Amino acid sequence: MSSLAPSTLVALLHGPDQPGLVARVAGWIFERGGNILHADQHRDMEAGIFFQRIEWVPSQGAASADTAGFHSFAASLGMQAHVTASSHRPRVAIFVSKFDHCFHDLVLRWKSGDYACELVAIVSNHRELESSARGYGLPFYVIPVTSATKPEGEAAQLELLRSLDVELVILARYMQVLSEDFLEKFARPVINIHHSFLPAFAGGRPYHQAAERGVKLIGATAHYATAVLDDGPIIQQDVTRVTHRHGVDDLVRKGRDLEKIVLAQAVRWHLESRVLVYGNKTVVFD
């Protein structure tokens, strides 16, 4: 973010639809001297739920008061709200195993200033990417995880994340399934990249599954991790065409390009407070 750009507040809110919501939200901001920069809304016609993302410049010195006050205001409308400041840089950890394409892509985007966050740790169950991480000047933590040591390994991971005050974990082809216990105790967002167009070919070896099925499209899916494997709210997906001439190696090669792009976009949207989760779905204000 440019040093000349004003610090803004971004609110994501949702709840039962009712007349006048857009006007009332805009009026609340106007009455406090705020200046709206962006506003977008969506209505789930079947469920009758209203969703909105609104970004505004608060009046001088009013950011803290507006943050607290907006939550109370939204509650008075029967809405749930989450408010973030553009000046806040979330602390992020990337979990990796041996595959490095998503890892390098994310780090290079971060180093070029694409992501407004602090990348505070690379965590792995292997040492293959240690030299690469340290070459980027990033701290690298090896915490072995096997089926026999999973509880101990996840406990060590959680301790590390708490000590670093990590607010977001990105699974950049981390080839371990996070347990329900881990997700409940971390209690913060975890974004995963799955190398298929979910819900097709969930679980392991999806490119092999796709080749065996003879599909004409393969895809990648970035989603929030939940206790159910590859079933969390989807943030972004994309596909590419394949033919009978493409073997598994071709699918893997083509899929890696998709994985990088899909994960990168999902992370950007999350960091920009553009993703609103409700149930097992998302509204993405792009």
Start and end residues for every CATH 3.30.70.260 domain found in the chain: 9-85
Cα dist. 88→91, 136, 262 in Å? 9, 23, 24
Query: What is the distance, to the nearest Å, from the Cα of residue 278 to the centroid of all Cα atoms in its chain?
Result: 14
Q: Where are the beta strands (DSSP E) in the chain?
A: 9-16, 35-44, 49-57, 80-85, 91-96, 118-124, 140-142, 168-171, 190-194, 217-224, 234-241, 275-278, 281-284
Answer whether 121's CB lies under 8 Å from 133's CB. Answer: no
Residue with token string 């999902």: 266
Answer whether 82's CB lies under 8 Å from 10's CB. Answer: no
Residue with token string 């899909």: 262
Question: What confidence score (pLDDT) does residue 30 get?
Answer: 96
pLDDT surpasses 80 at 201:
no
pTM, two decimals, is 0.92
The average pLDDT across 116-140 equals: 97
Residue with token string 């009712």: 18
Residue with token string 């609103």: 276
Task: Read off the DSSP letter of residue 59.
Answer: P
Q: Is the peptide bond before 199 cis (omega within 30 degrees of 0)?
A: yes
Q: Worst-scoring range by mean pLDDT, 62-66, 174-178, 189-193, 207-211?
A: 207-211
The correct CATH number of 91-284 out of 3.20.20.140, 1.10.1060.10, 3.40.50.170, 1.10.357.10 is 3.40.50.170
- CATH tag, 9-85: 3.30.70.260
Question: What confidence score (pLDDT) does residue 249 get?
Answer: 87
The token duo for 129 is: 């990417």
Compare 199 and 191 and report the one with higher pLDDT.
191
Task: Read off the DSSP letter of residue 286.
Answer: -
pLDDT surpasses 70 at 89:
yes
Question: What confidence score (pLDDT) does residue 286 get?
Answer: 85
Compare 81 and 243 and report the one with higher pLDDT.
81
Question: What confidence score (pLDDT) does residue 255 get?
Answer: 87
Question: Is residue 66 among the annotated active site residues?
Answer: no
Which entry of 66, 114, 165, 230 is annotated as an active-site residue?
A: 230
Question: What confidence score (pLDDT) does residue 203 get?
Answer: 79
